[in-house]
Each structure stands twice: as C-alpha cells, then as structure tokens.
A and B are shown apart, each in its own frame.
Chain A
C-alpha cells in the first residue's frame, strides 16, 4: 500500500509539471560503465506474436514488440510516469478537456516526417468499424469525442475529436474532464500509423519488407511462432541514445524450457515457472525478481445464450463457484511468486484507487466454503445432481496448474467436474471474443494507471467484455464516473455489483516473476505496468 501512495504522489507531481516535462528519456548509462560488445537483448515470450499493427494489438507481449517499432505522443518512463515521445510538450485547457500537443521533428523509418496527420489517421483507423479492432472501445474510454458513436457506426470517422492544426500541432477534444489522459498515450492503439504504406500495401503492410515505423527499432524478421527480430532504427529522433542494437522476441511455449534456455544463456529474460520462485530466489538471488504487475487473473463466465450450460446462468452457482476457490492456496501454494489473492477486479496498486469492501474478501475460507455449499444446494446442484463445466485456457503449465487445482477444489467442495481444454493463445482470444465458451481463463493488464482501464471491461459496450455481461446499472455508473468529482464512489459501486453478479471470478493480482541476466540494465522495476522499452535498456560487460 505504500507503493500506492508513492504512485499517487508521482501522478500529482507529473500533473503539476504539465508542459514543463520536456526532458527525454532513453538508456541512461552511468559514467564509467563498460558496455558489452554485443548489444542484443533476447526476450522470451510465451505465445506467438500475433500482429504488429498498433491498432490491432491486444496482448502484453505483442505490445512490447509494437512499442519498439512505433512511438506514441508520450512514453511511459522508468517509474511508469509519462515522458515525452513524439510530442515535445502539451498544453491543456482549464477543465482538462482540450489537449494540444506540440510534436517534435521525428521521422518514420523511411525518412518521412511524423506529422499530426499520422496520429489523426491512426486514431480514426482505430475506431473505424472497418478495422474491427478489439481495442476500438479504448479511444472512447480515454474520452476522445464521438469515439463511441463512430465505433457503433452512428457517425463518420471524420467526426472523431482529434485534429491536426498544422503538421506539428495536434489537438484532442475529450468528452469529459480527464486529468490522466496523457497516461493513456503510451498505449499502442494511440500510436501513429503510416497512411501511405497502409493504403499501398493493405493487410501486408506489417510484413518485414513493407513495414514503416517511427519507433527506436525496425522489423528485421518475423517468423510466426518462433521469433520476431527488431534492429536499431537510424531514423529515430533519439537514436543517438539507443544502446541495444537488436532485440529478439523468442516464442517459447513452455516456462520450464524457457528457464533451461535462460540458464544456458540463450535468452536474457524469462518467466519463473509457477511455484519455483522461492527455490530460484535462494539459488540465484541476483537474477530472480518478483515485482508487482498491473494485471488481474480471473475466470470469465460466458453470460450469453451462446453457451448451453444453464447452471452458469444461475447467479447462485456462479457465486458458489467463486467462493469455493481458495485463493490463498493458489497464491501461496501453487504460484509462490509474490502474487496476491483477488476478490475484486481493479488492481490494488492503481493510482488514486481505493479498494472497495467486498464481503467475500473479509470472510475466512471456511465461511466461504460453507456459503458456497449452501448456495449450490439452493441452486439445486449437489452430489446427487452433479454439475459439469468446460473450461478453456491457453497452453501453459502455470495455467494448467491453476485450472487443475481449482477443478479439484470445486470437486471436493461442490461436486463440480471441471473439464479442461487448452488451446493456442490466439484461438483462445478469438473463442472468448466470439463467446462460444462456458468458462475461460482470462487476465487483464491495465493499459494506463487509472481504475477505468479495468472496470470498463464490465461495460456492456466494451469489445473486451468477453463475458457478455450487461448490467444497465453498471453501465450507468461507469458513465457517471467519467464526470464524477470522486470516481472512487462509482468504481466501488461497480465492483460491489460485479461481485454480486459474478460475471468474472477474480483469482489473483499478478506479480511479474522473472529471471534476468545480470548484464541487462535499465529495466523499469518500479513501473507496476511493466511497460519496458528496448531503447531504455543496455547490456554491460560481465
């Protein structure tokens, strides 16, 4: 909770600075450091990098790749606070609804200048129903005028509240007063897009031979399911300060294999397999890290009629299932990596967010179990009428462990059989969006440090509302929170309502538990969002 205070203070400081924040941020190599002769960073990712189109990106690892290829108006700095990217500075009106950005002389990797028009094109592209982005709702979420209506097809894309005053000046009009708007600009959806290239090449524009970006790196190789390689971009405006020559994103679909390859020096960073953190920390204290991470792990319940399991439509069953999950066992027994149990959705380290009082959070597990059994009996299920539920997750030993353990908890306490089926990550994403599942593994990482990044997923209009959850009260509360003096009131009400309706079963709040080679420096350990930029990293000689 201390960290929470620090972040709030940092946010306040950032806002006070306002336009004064012009210092650039890049790899800050201290005097006298001997850099390694080979500046190649090899980063292990779990799943295939499924797109390189900034307006289509929807997962964390892919975002990391896209962040190296493109750059938004503002980046996120070491501690997670905004630092200037393509924008040099901004001005904002008194009620914080009109932001005017002054762009620097940045270039695309093909030498063309990055203009305000590139941002206008990209943002319009993001909300254009023709793009069909799963992040289209994001532009409306951060408040850009008319975004929701354009996504819904009610207005043309040209009505979007963003315009280029001239090549170097971008004006954004918001539908509500937003003190945190600048924090959202490091998200891939709001990155610029090269109009000429996209129009000339169509869907093939992200291929290595076609792609044009404005980030510190350019795409050198993209082998699906294997690796993505990016190389230093000499046209990047801050290229002089870039140290890493090359970054390799290696898809290794097995945490244990990742660890073996890290030990062999084949990757510089990899995730710690579930349950191995204590042993690895004891063995390699200087390479093993666990830092809070801005994500929540949860089970999505399909609330729509597209699934046939009637039991899941009964709120009592959903609540019983959620109560019967012993989060402490999962966190302390299975994962053991510094994660914390979750009973509500929004991450506790969210800036300015007050954790609401969820009744289940303060009960003992024995009480929860007793209540779960009682609710299940009331719903008419039990040992004589056993319930069967199908659960899907993306292939990973850690996800399988969590599923196995939860399945067994349900079986022992409620007589519920959980059938597990794993699938490739993109297939899981598509299945969840198509809502043709019963119960699915899900996780959400905040896109910017404000509670709405989580809670907006409960909005019936969000593309990322995989549950198909629709509660008019929740929608109204979320709308009201945008103009509220203290949005925490609405946020708490949404959390409480969600805990009653149980469209999701929160399991735990993430920690990023990873192994990193000692030669890698510049990692943003203190940023809860763990938004790392390859341009900020460097490798020292060992």
Chain B
C-alpha cells in the first residue's frame, strides 16, 4: 500500500502546486468566479441543458414534422378522440387539436412564440430599463425625480387593462403584442438599475473616472453600466418567464396571437376546454413544454443570481 502510493506520486510529479502558484498572477475575473459557482449548482445546470434542448427542438423539430401548423387532416375531422391520438403512423406525434390540425407542429410554433415574446420583452427591458435607470440614478436630483415619477405613474396604471385595450383598438397582431409587453416590461428593470447606480456612483472608481476628465454620459456607459451587468443579467433571466406567463395569460383570455398562429397559452386554453372529452393530449403536450420552460428559466435565473451575487445567499 505504501509503495503503491509512492509510485503513484512519482508517476504524476505534482502538477497541482505549479498551477496554484501561477493562478494568482492571471487573476480570477468576476465572471470566471461566477461561472465556477454556477457550474456547482446542479439544478441550474440541468435547467440550462433543458433550455438549450427546448430551443434546439424548436429549430430541429419542424424538420421532422409531417404536417404544418394549419393544415387540417381531413381524415381526423369528426373523430379526433379515436383517430387524432398521438401516433407515429399518422405523423401526428403529439396527436391533433379539436379541428384536426397537427399538435406537434403547433406546440413547436407555440413554444417559439412564447420564447420570442419572453426574450423580446426581456431585451426591451434590458436596453430601455438599464439606460433609463442608470441615467436617473447617476444624475439624481430633479431629473431623477421626474424620471422615476413617470415610472411610478406607468406602474400605477393596471397594465392588463392597457394591454387589452391596446389589442382591441389596434387589432391583434404580433407587433401589438410586443409593443404592449415592451411598454411595461422595462419599468421594474429601471427601478432596480437606478438603485444599483445610486450605490455605485460614489465609489472610488467613479471618482477616479470623473477626476480623469470623463464626461458624465461616458461615466454612466463606460464605468457604471458594465458594473451593473450582473444584476441586469439575473433580472433579465427572471423576467423572461414572467413575460411568457403574461403572454400566456393574454392568449388564455383569447386576446393573444391570431389563428392560425398559436402560443403555448392559447394551446393550453384550448386543451383545457376539451379535456373533459378524453382528448387529454391536447392539454398535456403544451403544458409539459410550458412547465419545463418556466421551471428552467426560473432555475437558471436563480443559479445566475447565486453565482453573480454570492452575498445575497
């Protein structure tokens, strides 16, 4: 036993100490640190993998589809319960919906729509909210008051009401949906970023930048915003599922995307209506995707927060 060990040690002539010695010279960036912490979070890692798989599926899935989202399988019409079941033979891998359209293609399309809505909403929030919040927070004073009261006013309006009015007046379309969601998604982000900016703006590196002659906007965008990215990334990830939920709720009310396009919310709504007739697959498949998507985003967001902001744990 003893010899064995010694031989083992000899076989691998201690590479570790050398690395350890050289590591401090390279320096570990915040991001590397975060990545290491994130990798240790099993739930977040699995969720990330799941998320990548779902996104990949929405791109690869259509290649395998034998039906498109709107073509009705006329042989199924009228006997969805017996002939519209999930089956490889008929090419309806997830079965059909009530009028005989392929659910596999529709679920893929619904997932794409839900993901797009979530990501677009989140991107709008990141761009508008970060700049708005950073400017308000950095300059402070009257400008800050005016800008943040504007946010408060928008916050105080029941957004679902506005969204529904918007969709009814201008008609239902993808663009209107994005406009509506974009209008409200950045408010929370602006508040969070403003708070962080206030905390950062009196730090030494900012003073150094000002002393170095940087103009105010340069200070905001070159020195403050990069230091906010951790918070922003976390918040954005958590915002995506919120947006997906919002869109699904609107679709559930029947105000979302227009036929023949669909979204997960619309599919779940249709499936829920018909579940009492035994066509349970119409609810099950969109619901599985919906739940997986939401859980994954929340876990990833959670993992990111833990990784980027360990103090909060």
| B75 closest partner in A (C-beta) | A333
Residues of the B chain whose Cβ atoms lie less than 8 Å from the Cβ of A329: 74, 77-78
The answer to whether B276 and A279 have CB atoms under 8 Å apart is no
Residues of the A chain whose Cβ atoms lie less than 8 Å from the Cβ of B77: 329, 333-334, 405
Q: Is B98 an interface residue (CB 8 A)?
A: yes
The answer to whether B254 and A422 have CB atoms under 8 Å apart is yes
The answer to whether A404 and B276 have CB atoms under 8 Å apart is no
A234-265 toward B: CB 8 Å interface, digit per residue (1/0)?
00000000000000000000101101100000
The answer to whether A404 and B99 have CB atoms under 8 Å apart is yes
The answer to whether A420 and B258 have CB atoms under 8 Å apart is yes
A468-498 toward B: CB 8 Å interface, digit per residue (1/0)?
0000000000000000000000000000000
| B275 closest partner in A (C-beta) | A256
Residues of the A chain whose Cβ atoms lie less than 8 Å from the Cβ of B161: none
Q: Is B310 an interface residue (CB 8 A)?
A: no
Q: Majority SS of interface residues in chain A?
A: helix
Residues of the B chain whose Cβ atoms lie less than 8 Å from the Cβ of A276: 277
The answer to whether B273 and A254 have CB atoms under 8 Å apart is yes
Q: Is B70 an interface residue (CB 8 A)?
A: yes
Q: How many residues of A contact B (CB 8 A)?
A: 27
Residues of the A chain whose Cβ atoms lie less than 8 Å from the Cβ of B273: 254, 256-257, 397
Given A275-B78, A405-B72: A421 in contact with B99 (beta carbons within 8 A): no
Measured CA separation A256–B283 after assembly (Å) = 14
| B77 closest partner in A (C-beta) | A333
| A256 closest partner in B (C-beta) | B273
The answer to whether B70 and A419 have CB atoms under 8 Å apart is no
Measured CA separation A401–B274 after assembly (Å) = 13
**In the complex, chain A residues 415-435 whose Cβ is within 8 Å of any chain B Cβ:** 419-422
The answer to whether B71 and A421 have CB atoms under 8 Å apart is no
The answer to whether A395 and B258 have CB atoms under 8 Å apart is no
A39-67 toward B: CB 8 Å interface, digit per residue (1/0)?
00000000000000000000000000000
Residues of the A chain whose Cβ atoms lie less than 8 Å from the Cβ of B277: 276, 279
The answer to whether B259 and A259 have CB atoms under 8 Å apart is no
**In the complex, chain A residues 366-417 whose Cβ is within 8 Å of any chain B Cβ:** 395, 397, 400-401, 404-405, 407-408, 411-412
Residues of the A chain whose Cβ atoms lie less than 8 Å from the Cβ of B260: 404, 407
Residues of the B chain whose Cβ atoms lie less than 8 Å from the Cβ of A404: 72, 99, 259-260
Q: Is A336 an interface residue (CB 8 A)?
A: yes
Q: Is A519 an interface residue (CB 8 A)?
A: no
Residues of the B chain whose Cβ atoms lie less than 8 Å from the Cβ of A210: none
Q: Is B172 an interface residue (CB 8 A)?
A: yes
Residues of the A chain whose Cβ atoms lie less than 8 Å from the Cβ of B74: 329, 333
**In the complex, chain A residues 275-305 whose Cβ is within 8 Å of any chain B Cβ:** 275-276, 279
A290-330 toward B: CB 8 Å interface, digit per residue (1/0)?
00000000000000000000000000000000000000010
Q: Is B171 an interface residue (CB 8 A)?
A: yes
The answer to whether A405 and B254 have CB atoms under 8 Å apart is no
Measured CA separation A404–B259 after assembly (Å) = 8
Residues of the A chain whose Cβ atoms lie less than 8 Å from the Cβ of B164: none
Q: Is B81 an interface residue (CB 8 A)?
A: yes
**In the complex, chain B residues 165-199 whose Cβ is within 8 Å of any chain A Cβ:** 171-172
Minimum CB–CB distance from A270 to chain B (whole Å) comes to 13
Q: Majority SS of interface residues in chain B?
A: loop
The answer to whether A420 and B99 have CB atoms under 8 Å apart is no
Q: Is A19 an interface residue (CB 8 A)?
A: no
Measured CA separation A336–B81 after assembly (Å) = 14
Minimum CB–CB distance from B38 to chain A (whole Å) comes to 45
The answer to whether B258 and A334 have CB atoms under 8 Å apart is no
Q: Is A332 an interface residue (CB 8 A)?
A: yes
| B272 closest partner in A (C-beta) | A256
Measured CA separation A538–B171 after assembly (Å) = 46
Residues of the A chain whose Cβ atoms lie less than 8 Å from the Cβ of B80: 275
Measured CA separation A400–B258 after assembly (Å) = 12
Residues of the A chain whose Cβ atoms lie less than 8 Å from the Cβ of B254: 395, 422
**In the complex, chain A residues 320-358 whose Cβ is within 8 Å of any chain B Cβ:** 329, 332-334, 336
| A412 closest partner in B (C-beta) | B71
| B274 closest partner in A (C-beta) | A256
| B78 closest partner in A (C-beta) | A333
Measured CA separation A314–B258 after assembly (Å) = 27
Minimum CB–CB distance from A498 to chain B (whole Å) comes to 29
Measured CA separation A115–B167 after assembly (Å) = 51
**In the complex, chain B residues 50-96 whose Cβ is within 8 Å of any chain A Cβ:** 70-72, 74, 77-78, 80-81
Count chain B CB atoms within 10 A of each CB in A395, A400, A408, A420 and give the residue with the most: A408
The answer to whether B81 and A279 have CB atoms under 8 Å apart is yes
Residues of the B chain whose Cβ atoms lie less than 8 Å from the Cβ of A336: 78
Residues of the B chain whose Cβ atoms lie less than 8 Å from the Cβ of A407: 259-260
Given A256-B273, A395-B254: A401 in contact with B81 (beta carbons within 8 A): no
Minimum CB–CB distance from A107 to chain B (whole Å) comes to 46
Residues of the B chain whose Cβ atoms lie less than 8 Å from the Cβ of A412: 71
| A395 closest partner in B (C-beta) | B254
| A420 closest partner in B (C-beta) | B259
Measured CA separation A426–B254 after assembly (Å) = 18
Measured CA separation A257–B274 after assembly (Å) = 10
Interface residues of A (CB under 8 A from B): 254, 256-257, 259-260, 275-276, 279, 329, 332-334, 336, 395, 397, 400-401, 404-405, 407-408, 411-412, 419-422
Beyond A276-B277, A279-B81, 18 extra complex contacts between A and B, CB < 8 Å: A256-B273, A256-B274, A275-B78, A275-B98, A333-B74, A334-B77, A334-B99, A395-B254, A401-B99, A404-B72, A405-B77, A408-B70, A408-B72, A420-B258, A421-B171, A421-B172, A421-B258, A422-B254
Interface residues of B (CB under 8 A from A): 70-72, 74, 77-78, 80-81, 98-99, 171-172, 254, 258-260, 273-274, 276-277
Q: Can you list the 7 inter-chain pairs with the closest CB atoms, starting with the nearest?
A: A333-B78, A333-B77, A256-B273, A408-B72, A420-B259, A404-B99, A401-B99
Q: List 15 A-B contacts (CB under 8 A).
A: A256-B273, A256-B274, A257-B273, A260-B276, A275-B78, A332-B78, A333-B74, A334-B77, A334-B99, A395-B254, A408-B70, A408-B72, A412-B71, A419-B258, A420-B259
